[in-house]
Amino acid sequence: DTEVTQTPKHLVMGMTNKKSLKCEQHMGHRAMYWYKQKAKKPPELMFVYSYEKLSINESVPSRFSPECPNSSLLNLHLHALQPEDSALYLCASSQDRTGQHHFGNGTRLTVT
Amino acid sequence: QQQVKQSPQSLIVQKGGISIINCAYENTAFDYFPWYQQFPGKGPALLIAIRPDVSEKKEGRFTISFNKSAKQFSLHIMDSQPGDSATYFCAATLYQLIWGAGTKLIIKP
């Protein structure tokens, strides 16, 4: 079991749907991350929150919208996704921006 | 300058053998070099990491060798076991993780 919990584990959505991915950590970490991982590739950084403020947005399309309601929670809101957005979405946290990343097991997203 | 080059792409090793995965980097400002292990359907998990002021770090069967002058580092898995079969990523950090491309390791019984 990981210390970073992601829900749901699997998600299938149509291109017109709106859905949200959720991530929770209770390690007191102040940095949280969203990554996208395609098969046989390393994770690609999407967003970084540091002390609940968005500090990095790696030119991600606006159909992905992150939210950090508090220091333990991180959401990723999805709207009007494309089939090429199908991937494993990973959340991670670290004590601060320079610390060790702890990853969740991801949400496997399929866009139909 | 921000790249980390990892090789080989895939590796098959007999049970009990030594698995070796290599990485190279260009940016001398990188200050932390972790290795992640990822099983299918799971997130990456930190396996072992090293800072550039140390030439070797060992944790159980896993060893990182670090060559600062050559800007290379490698992961050695001694007495490789079928349970070690996974994808391994090297990485380097400055303000964020820069990932290698990954190595799919298969340990044959």
On average, the pLDDT of chain A sits at 93
Alpha helices in chain A (DSSP H): none
pLDDT band at B28 (very low <50, low <70, confident <90, very high): very high
The label of the residue with tokens 């790249």 reads B3
Q: Which residues of B touch A102 (CB under 8 A)?
A: 46
Residue A27 tokens read as: 């390690």
CA angle A75, A78, A80 (to 5 degrees): 170
pLDDT in tens, A80-100: 999 999 999 999 999 877 778
DSSP state of A29: -
Question: For residues A95 and B37, what is the distance between their CA atoms, to the nearest angstrom?
Answer: 20
pLDDT in tens, A41-86: 999 999 999 999 998 888 899 999 999 999 999 999 999 999 999 9
pLDDT at A42: 97
> Is the distance from CB of A105 to CB of B43 less than 8 angstroms?
yes
List CB contacts of A61: < 8 A, sequence separation 6 or more: none
Element (H, E) at A24: strand A18-25
Q: Which of A40, A103, A108 sits opposite B45 (nearest CB)?
A: A103
- pLDDT over 60 at B96, yes or no: yes
Chain A residues in contact with chain B using a Cβ-Cβ cutoff of 8 Å: 2, 4, 40-43, 45, 48, 56, 90, 92, 97-98, 100-106, 108
CA angle B74, B84, B88 (to 5 degrees): 45
The answer to whether B40 contacts chain A (CB < 8 Å) is no
Which of A5, A6, A40 has the highest number of chain B CBs within 10 A, making it the mutation to test binding with B?
A: A40
Q: Which residues of B touch A56 (CB under 8 A)?
A: 96
pLDDT in tens, B41-82: 999 999 999 999 999 999 999 999 999 999 999 999 999 999
pLDDT at A1: 56
3-state secondary structure of B30: coil
Instruction: Identify whether A8 is preceded by a cis peptide bond (ω within 30 of 0).
Output: yes
Residue A19 tokens read as: 């859905």
pLDDT at B1: 63
Q: Which of B34, B96, B104 sits opposite A45 (nearest CB)?
A: B96
